[in-house]
A and B are shown apart, each in its own frame.
Chain A
């Protein structure tokens, strides 16, 4: 069966009723690839693209609430540096017109650029069930293991909540890919500094899940970002990540790059701070 509900509520109903027997398709940039490679769907399809209320961006209480169906092309337009830049580094324009934030989070690739930026923003994800209602999870608690998340078989990702630019002091993004476009991250890093002084730092492609560098963050809290601290943080980040060797890059290179990227995104935060000074 191919279900194509025109509201998100209807989609939730279907998902609750069919659970694992129905597979949501939002942008299709992962699922259709599998189909074209001859993998059988094996299950029914729940097409979310007709649900017009699944593409909204709303402001509420100092936060931005993004519907799960928000595309990377929409994210690119946001005034939040790390998310907009991360979104702009995904695929080519035609992938960004299609791929969605819910798809990125549900696929939960360790190299998911959108996931890494959202982690650094300390975003929350809303998982919804037709009967049980919704639950908010911090993204840091959402990713569980390699391509495993807290999302239940009978749930859909309804929203993602991120701080608005007014709650954020600065954010930064840096990606090392092998080429300039349509490019899987070898390592990517995102950092954000909030009004309360808190700094979050996240990395992609260096662990089974998109990861927050929690240990490194501890070093940074409440400290001025001096050259010495940046150096220390870079070393800490490099020690904290758990990359693997694969044909794309060695673990050693990825570790070394985490140090470089940590320093670069943190420096970027600082530059942005200075720019904002009167």
Chain B
């Protein structure tokens, strides 16, 4: 039934025809075209769709549009008046309250509602007001800072209370430097905490994510997932679905190219739609295109599939047993990848150790949960070019894989990455949405839009591998590591995805932190009937790092050595080739230990806290970009590439940039295909390019979203963008300035070598009284030569890694280091854990943008802490997911987030642009172990099985109590 209603939104009346079951969210987005209100879960769990109704905040996904007549609705688009941001919106821009931006509209509205009723809220009141808004990027820290900055704003927009910080660059996140583009530790626009270039779009609701886009004549499609975890497809009957009015087309395995695809070229094992077999709950079986999304959903439910159920296997050890159900025929005993690494005299090392300890640790199944669900829109140009809009963190690999499955040249595929609402590794692969949308669009001749629901995101999977880890460390009497061995079983789920690399990463990055003279790693990635595991923040390393750090802390305890001290004694030196041949360059690991211990008052707290209060420490680090591309050979359709032997060098540049100067010299357009997914790459790349050009940031624009416009960058994974794309953009900027030099020299009457530029002035080095405007020089160039364009590119150094199998994984031009100290309170009766405080110091080289760096750390701490104590994808005995939504799968709310101090140590990486290296993933690595250690310190019991739930804490406490009682009784 359709009724007509007049809705009042942001003061304007909109007559609309709505169905009885239609939500306000859908009407706002689809019928009034106000897409600033986001759909994150559609069941009231996340707050991304929050609007104000008569001044009260509500989730618009739970409001029926029919009941909204006569009410005054305010969306994010109605907050800024006449384009002028409110003080709160400005604060979100300036204080790092925005990252991916998907939660931002809801956050801004919740905070606006709070400030309207309480102009001076306490921190607790701020948290309570934002408790229904989930954020995955910021750790809530920047958001709280933003609202606090707005307390007591006066009408004129100035703040009555806040002391503006001095211009000195920040040493911690407590006082971010908010100076302009010029000035700072390095000079120019590098090393300064400038706001994100996309922040204004994100606080006003203007930023467009893939699902926000609409095209003429567009239709929608949905995918049918398997209701069982393992079975043979006997029959698919689509007749009822086909008969539903509004259904346009249906795809099953018979209708799609019979090409296997995936991530690791050696293991393409996914069909576009399930062929013969389903291997996990949600495995994609068929797809329907229809005139609207609801019709497609209804039609999907009408497809009848007959399955022959097969027994399931749900953990890697069982899957490896003789006679276990085979997930794929091709993987014997379900072993997808086996790593057998041994470096140095492992047995000898243990033999000469004064103390050896061996423990078993178990990880959990973590899902990335970016706030924005995956979405794709495909259309075909008349010349046969595929245009694909995709919410991806790896546009180039999507292009490569689409070429592979469609069997067409990469050059005929244009991938556009609109604003992306977070990835964390969950959007690092080509999805069935990308492929099915393209196929439907080709068959129908119309644009096709596909979006995963929150539940489908979990079912599609690609989260963190659950790892079962047997670790053994031998040390001398002073705690110096003599030998280390690990045996890890990785729960791979039903497909390879990134898993080959994950299995290697789980071993290879461990020796980059400590001096480990002998190392054995035995790893098995095993197929199970679960959604495929993939790459998530810290790819493969966080759980082994957690295990290693816990074991090191246990050994410190055994030997009576302070946990800070044992790390100091074992910490690696700069310029070290590790036992597995990773080239560690700059390394300020010890500085991170010293600074975090000092800042947290470690010495006053360690061993001195009452029962129930704990402090713990762990360290970690990561690669600054993978040394090698995921696929071998050059950029070319995979089917046409000759099989060539692997060589230890990059075949093509991994990051490429073009800078184009406007004809009047007043603007520089930076083109690079680096994927801004919320982490801030557009901002830091703009900063570096502006710096090398010698102009302020407000003369720069970046275009990174379109493969037709921007040259190849491999994307946002392996924490590669700052280092690799940073080199490309600064080299492109330098190339432009090189071309300008002869003209500048002529204007300034000096030699070319002494020409330099800063802040849009070109001047003679050492004599800035002799200067000309930058644009004047650029115009002179254009007058004589035409377009002023520079290009730059970056290839990782040749020869990275050893000569053994799998040696490429873990190689990188540079490594980061960090130490986190965590303080917790544990309720010893209920086991409830409150993570009170984090002190984190990171060596990210020389930061390009300290505010962005701290934002990464804050987000990583909250995410890491959340996965340590809350998160776990649950399966029943048949392999069906139990908590694939945001009220069952719990990521931290603002009420749980700890206070975070993020600090940086002085560091300079010669292989990084302006001395920079990574921050995004390395910042996650110390977190899990630090939380676990703090809990052990608070309770006296170690939980070696993630997540550390109240129930596990209590059980361990009870076991310890009865063991102690037995001991007393027997003595």
Binding site for B on A (CB under 8 A): 1-2, 4, 25, 27-29, 32-33, 35-38, 41, 45, 47, 49-50, 73, 91-95, 97-98, 176, 178-184, 247, 249-250, 253, 256-257, 260
Whether B102 is near chain A, meaning CB under 8 Å from some CB there, is: no
Task: Give Cα A182–Cα B954 distance, bound, in whole angstroms.
Answer: 24
Known A-B contacts A176-B950, A182-B887; A29 and B44 likewise in contact (beta carbons under 8 Å)? yes
23 examples of A-B residue contacts, CB within 8 angstroms: A1-B1, A2-B20, A32-B62, A36-B23, A36-B43, A45-B20, A47-B67, A91-B132, A93-B128, A97-B56, A98-B62, A98-B63, A176-B832, A178-B890, A179-B870, A179-B890, A179-B895, A180-B894, A182-B131, A247-B874, A247-B882, A247-B883, A253-B950
Which of B64, B128, B892 lies in contact with A179, CB distance below 8 A?
B892
Whether B66 is near chain A, meaning CB under 8 Å from some CB there, is: yes
Whether B376 is near chain A, meaning CB under 8 Å from some CB there, is: no
Would you call B132 and A94 a contact (CB within 8 A)? yes
Would you call B57 and A97 a contact (CB within 8 A)? yes
Most chain B beta-carbon neighbours within 10 Å: one of A4, A92, A253 = A92
Which residues of B453-479 have CB atoms within 8 Å of chain A's CB atoms? none
Task: Give Cα A210–Cα B680 distance, bound, in whole angstroms.
Answer: 48
Most chain B beta-carbon neighbours within 10 Å: one of A41, A49, A182, A256 = A182
Which of B63, B128, B894 lies in contact with A28, CB distance below 8 A?
B63
Task: Give Cα A36–Cα B885 distance, bound, in whole angstroms.
Answer: 13
Q: A247 — which chain B residues lie within 8 A by C-beta?
A: 874, 876, 882-883, 888
B886-901 to A contact mask, C-beta < 8 Å, 1/0: 0110101111100000
Would you call B66 and A2 a contact (CB within 8 A)? yes
Which of B23, B890, B892 lies in contact with A32, CB distance below 8 A?
B23
> In chain B, what residue has the closest Cβ to A88?
B128
Would you give the shortest CB distance from A102 to chain B, in whole angstroms? 16
Q: A260 — which chain B residues lie within 8 A by C-beta?
A: 829-830
Most chain A beta-carbon neighbours within 10 Å: one of B20, B64, B895 = B64
Whether B301 is near chain A, meaning CB under 8 Å from some CB there, is: yes
Which of B20, B832, B882 lies in contact with A41, CB distance below 8 A?
B20
Would you give the shortest CB distance from B253 to chain A, in whole angstroms? 24
Whether B672 is near chain A, meaning CB under 8 Å from some CB there, is: no
Instruction: Specify the main secondary structure of chain B where it touches its partner.
Output: loop
Contacts between the two chains (Cβ within 8 Å), count: 126
Known A-B contacts A33-B43, A176-B950, A253-B954; A182 and B63 likewise in contact (beta carbons under 8 Å)? no
Task: Give Cα A1–Cα B19 distance, bound, in whole angstroms.
Answer: 10
Would you call B45 and A47 a contact (CB within 8 A)? no
Q: A253 — which chain B residues lie within 8 A by C-beta?
A: 950-951, 954
Instruction: Please count how many residues in chain B sit with their CB below 8 Å of the partner chain's CB atoms.
Output: 52
Whether B540 is near chain A, meaning CB under 8 Å from some CB there, is: no
Would you give the shortest CB distance from A164 to chain B, in whole angstroms? 26
Q: B878 — which chain A residues lie within 8 A by C-beta?
A: none
B828-853 to A contact mask, C-beta < 8 Å, 1/0: 01101000000000000000000000
Whether B219 is near chain A, meaning CB under 8 Å from some CB there, is: no
9 other contacts beyond A33-B62, A95-B44, with CB at 8 A cut-off? A2-B3, A92-B133, A92-B893, A93-B128, A93-B129, A98-B58, A180-B893, A182-B887, A253-B954
Task: Give Cα A182–Cα B890 distance, bound, in whole angstroms.
Answer: 9
Would you give the shortest CB distance from B409 to chain A, in whole angstroms? 40
Task: Give Cα A241–Cα B359 distance, bound, in whole angstroms.
Answer: 38
Q: B894 — which chain A residues lie within 8 A by C-beta?
A: 180-181
Q: B883 — which chain A residues lie within 8 A by C-beta?
A: 247
Would you call B67 and A94 a contact (CB within 8 A)? no
Whether B206 is near chain A, meaning CB under 8 Å from some CB there, is: no
Would you call B131 and A41 a contact (CB within 8 A)? no
Would you give the shortest CB distance from A158 to chain B, in whole angstroms? 20
Task: Give Cα A179–Cα B897 distance, bound, in whole angstroms.
Answer: 10
Task: Give Cα A212–Cα B281 distance, bound, in whole angstroms.
Answer: 39
Would you call B954 and A179 a contact (CB within 8 A)? no
> In chain B, what residue has the closest Cβ to A94?
B57
Would you call A38 and B64 a contact (CB within 8 A)? no
Known A-B contacts A45-B64, A181-B894; A94 and B298 likewise in contact (beta carbons under 8 Å)? no
Would you call A94 and B3 a contact (CB within 8 A)? no
Task: Give Cα A57–Cα B950 distance, bound, in whole angstroms.
Answer: 39
Task: Give Cα A228–Cα B222 distance, bound, in whole angstroms.
Answer: 61
Task: Give Cα A256–Cα B63 distance, bound, in whole angstroms.
Answer: 39
> In chain A, what residue has the closest Cβ to B886?
A182
Would you give the shortest CB distance from B165 to chain A, in whole angstroms? 30
Which residues of B409-425 have CB atoms within 8 Å of chain A's CB atoms? none
Would you give the shortest CB distance from B965 to chain A, in whole angstroms? 18
Most chain A beta-carbon neighbours within 10 Å: one of B113, B890, B954 = B890
Would you call B44 and A35 a contact (CB within 8 A)? no
Most chain B beta-carbon neighbours within 10 Å: one of A50, A94, A183 = A94
Would you give the shortest CB distance from B161 to chain A, in whole angstroms? 24
Q: A41 — which chain B residues lie within 8 A by C-beta?
A: 20-21
Would you give the shortest CB distance from B396 to chain A, in whole angstroms? 35
Give me the 4 closest cross-chain CB pairs, A-B, nearest first.
Answer: A92-B132, A180-B895, A181-B131, A181-B893
Would you give the shortest CB distance from B23 to chain A, in whole angstroms? 6
B128-148 to A contact mask, C-beta < 8 Å, 1/0: 110111100000000000000
Task: Give Cα A92–Cα B133 distance, bound, in whole angstroms.
Answer: 8
Would you give the shortest CB distance from B900 to chain A, in whole angstroms? 16
Would you call B830 and A35 a contact (CB within 8 A)? no
Q: B298 — which chain A residues lie within 8 A by C-beta?
A: 38
Whether B248 is near chain A, meaning CB under 8 Å from some CB there, is: no
Task: Give Cα A176–Cα B832 distance, bound, in whole angstroms.
Answer: 8
